Amino acid sequence: APKPAAPIAATGRFVVQIGAFAEASAVRDVRSKAQKAGLATFTQTVNTSDGQRTRVRLGPFASREEAEKAAAQAKAAGLGGAVLTL
């Protein structure tokens, strides 16, 4: 019999999005704040109905628990954050 799949909410690939910005200066500011807090970031540029935006994210993380810890660190550094499943 096949093994049951792990719940998607507990395992998989997770990221923490700490912002999405139209201005490059805002991206630099947020990335700088995250770096000072010891958090590594990456960016992704996307086209939206409001124009091009650059997402600033932490991760990816193998578990939701790891992502939640990073989100808490971001919050402590004065950054917002939302855990997303990839």
Q: Which positions ≥6 away from 22 have C-beta within 8 Å? A: 50, 51, 52, 53, 54
Alpha-carbon span 81 to 74, nearest angstrom: 7
Alpha-carbon span 22 to 31, nearest angstrom: 14
* Structural tokens at position 47: 């086209």
Q: What pLDDT does 86 receive? A: 87
What predicted TM-score, i.e. pTM, was given to this entire model?
0.83
User: pLDDT (tens digit, 9 = 90+) per residue, 57-66?
Assistant: 999 999 999 9
Looking at per-residue pLDDT, the higher value among 23 and 12 belongs to: 23
Q: Which positions ≥6 away from 29 have C-beta within 8 Å? A: none
**pLDDT at residue 3 is higher than 70:** no
**pLDDT at residue 32 is higher than 60:** yes
Looking at per-residue pLDDT, the higher value among 7 and 66 belongs to: 66
